[in-house]
């Protein structure tokens, strides 16, 4: 109890000294009344916060600048000297942290300045979706108003240079996850995190791969995972589809997967894959070329990476979409043709 009284008395004297610096009369009566008003002020909920507001602290801001911004968003409570004394008490003057802060319902001046002192800033979320192409990713990043935009005038090759990956193909290099960031963070910095996350996930998957896979490197596992991601409508089928492709690779069969053909067509694909497209040779046409395509065709998630290195065993070499997101798997061409007639031609 004595320690608490001494602490309170010490704080009172520091505030008295600050009031003197601020040019206020320091008679015992005045100081006592000001002290009472201050105690009421700092713990009383702000009336302006029935609707949540956002207070921004910018680089280089002084507390006076922040106080002006508080007034501008409708926080009228308290005299300026009370806010300054409270900032002094909480050491906000020394620890003011840049960012955006919510001023929510029922918050008190003490709680608000404590948030500024502890850096409890607003966190934004960006979700990179499994199966996205780089074009999809760029479009989604451009719609994030809170991100610092730097990619508009940077092509994919320049982007990979900026990420210290010169000469690396951009597709498939960013791990689909939800990333949190604060206002002003640059889009390229978020991509750096996503690229490092993919490096880590791919390395971990490759380290625990099955024996005797017909894959020579983590890069080939990434390429296969991207195909599995694009072919899979249901997560439960990823390992089955990976198994089909692994068996085809072992046997020297062509993968014959439409998503690679579509990727190779680029801007020439109009949404309708035709027979002539399947017969037009590109580096990504797995109907005309054996083996894996030269690069990933999309951004695979963790589950697709694991499926590529842990394919489900079996005999199936074919699969066809049922039309409900799932696939019918076949071990022979004749069985596959019957499934195509049932699920594809019948629907047409």
Mean pLDDT value of segment 46-54: 73
Beta bridge partners of 180: 125
Distance CA 209, CA 173 (A): 19
pLDDT of residue 348: 47
Distance CA 312, CA 243 (A): 5
Inside any domain, residue 78: yes
Inside any domain, residue 6: no
- Contact of 49 with 105, CB cutoff 8 Å: yes
What is the per-residue pLDDT across 55-80, written as a single tens digit (0 to 9) for each? Answer: 999 888 899 999 999 999 888 888 99
Distance CA 40, CA 109 (A): 10
Do 105 and 189 fall within a single domain? no
Do 189 and 307 fall within a single domain? no
Burial 58-89 (b: 16+ CB within 10 A, else e): eeeeebeebbeebeeeebebbeebbbbbbbbb
pTM for the whole thing?
0.80
Inside any domain, residue 128: no
Angle between helix 238-251 and helix 302-309 axes, rounded to 10 deg: 40
Would you say residue 20 has pLDDT above 70?
no
Percent of the chain at pLDDT exceeding 90? 64
Q: Of 158, 182, 201, which marks where a domain is finished?
A: 201
Mean pLDDT value of segment 188-216: 96
Tell me which residue range forms the domain holding 188.
137-201
Do 329 and 253 fall within a single domain? yes
Cα 237–chain centre separation: 26
Number of structural domains, the chain? 3
Do 167 and 248 fall within a single domain? no
Q: Of 155, 183, 201, which marks where a domain is finished?
A: 201
Do 224 and 146 fall within a single domain? no
Inside any domain, residue 129: no
Distance CA 13, CA 5 (A): 12
Distance CA 309, CA 206 (A): 7
Do 216 and 335 fall within a single domain? yes
Distance CA 33, CA 39 (A): 10
Q: Of 118, 151, 171, which marks where a domain is finished?
A: 118
Q: Which residues have CB under 8 Å from 162's CB, separation 6+?
A: 154, 188
Do 341 and 220 fall within a single domain? yes
Inside any domain, residue 5: no
What is the per-residue pLDDT across 241-268, written as a single tens digit (0 to 9) for each? Answer: 999 999 999 999 999 999 999 999 988 8
Do 222 and 328 fall within a single domain? yes
Do 282 and 255 fall within a single domain? yes
Would you say residue 49 has pLDDT above 70?
no
Query: Comparing C-alpha atoms, which of 274, 277, 246, 276 is closest to residue 261?
Result: 277
Do 30 and 113 fall within a single domain? yes
Mean pLDDT value of segment 175-202: 95
- Contact of 92 with 116, CB cutoff 8 Å: yes
Residue 28 — pLDDT band, cuts 50, 70, 90? low
Beta bridge partners of 95: none
pLDDT of residue 37: 87
Beta bridge partners of 328: 320
- For all residues of the chain together, what is the average pLDDT? 89
Inside any domain, residue 177: yes
Do 213 and 298 fall within a single domain? yes
Do 32 and 144 fall within a single domain? no
pLDDT of residue 32: 80
Inside any domain, residue 183: yes
How many of the other CB atoms lie within 10 Å of CB of 43? 10
Classify 168 in phi/psi space as left (phi over 0), alpha (psi -120 to 50) or beta.
beta
Inside any domain, residue 64: yes
Joined together, the tokens standing for residue 98 give: 């840049």
Q: Which residues have CB under 8 Å from 296's CB, separation 6+?
A: 169, 171, 172, 173, 222, 223, 225, 226
- Contact of 175 with 197, CB cutoff 8 Å: yes
Mean pLDDT value of segment 134-153: 94
């Amino acid at each position: 109890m004595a320690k608490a009284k001494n602490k309170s008395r010490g704080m009172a004297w520091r505030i008295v000294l600050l009031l003197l610096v601020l040019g206020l009369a320091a008679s015992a009566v005045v100081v006592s009344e000001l002290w009472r008003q201050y105690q009421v002020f700092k713990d009383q909920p702000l009336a302006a916060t029935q609707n949540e507001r956002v207070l921004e602290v910018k680089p280089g801001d002084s507390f006076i600048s922040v106080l002006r911004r508080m007034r501008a968003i409708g926080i009228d409570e308290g005299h300026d000297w009370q806010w300054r004394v409270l900032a002094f008490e909480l050491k906000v003057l020394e620890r003011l942290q840049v960012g955006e802060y919510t001023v929510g319902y029922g918050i008190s001046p003490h709680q608000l300045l404590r948030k500024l002192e502890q850096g409890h800033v607003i966190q934004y979320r960006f979700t990179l979706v499994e199966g996205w192409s780089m074009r999809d990713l760029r479009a989604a990043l451009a719609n994030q108003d809170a991100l610092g935009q730097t990619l508009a005038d940077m092509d994919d090759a320049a982007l990979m240079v900026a990420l210290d990956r010169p000469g690396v193909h951009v597709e498939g290099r960013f791990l689909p996850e939800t990333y949190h960031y604060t206002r002003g963070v640059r889009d390229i910095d978020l991509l750096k995190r996503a690229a490092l996350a993919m490096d880590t996930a791919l390395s971990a998957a490759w380290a625990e791969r099955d024996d005797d896979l017909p894959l020579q490197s983590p890069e080939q596992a990434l390429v296969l995972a991207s195909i599995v991601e694009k072919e899979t409508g249901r997560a439960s089928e990823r390992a089955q589809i990976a198994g089909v492709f692994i068996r085809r690779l072992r046997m020297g069969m062509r993968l014959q997967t439409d998503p690679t053909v579509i990727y190779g067509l680029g801007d020439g694909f109009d949404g309708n894959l035709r027979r002539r497209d399947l017969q037009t040779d590109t580096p990504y046409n797995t109907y005309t070329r054996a083996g894996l395509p030269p690069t990933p065709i999309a951004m695979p998630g963790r589950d697709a990476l694991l499926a590529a290195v842990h394919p489900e065993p079996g005999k199936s070499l074919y699969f066809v979409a049922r039309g409900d997101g799932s696939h019918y798997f076949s071990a022979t061409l004749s069985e596959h043709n019957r499934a195509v007639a049932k699920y594809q031609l019948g629907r047409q």
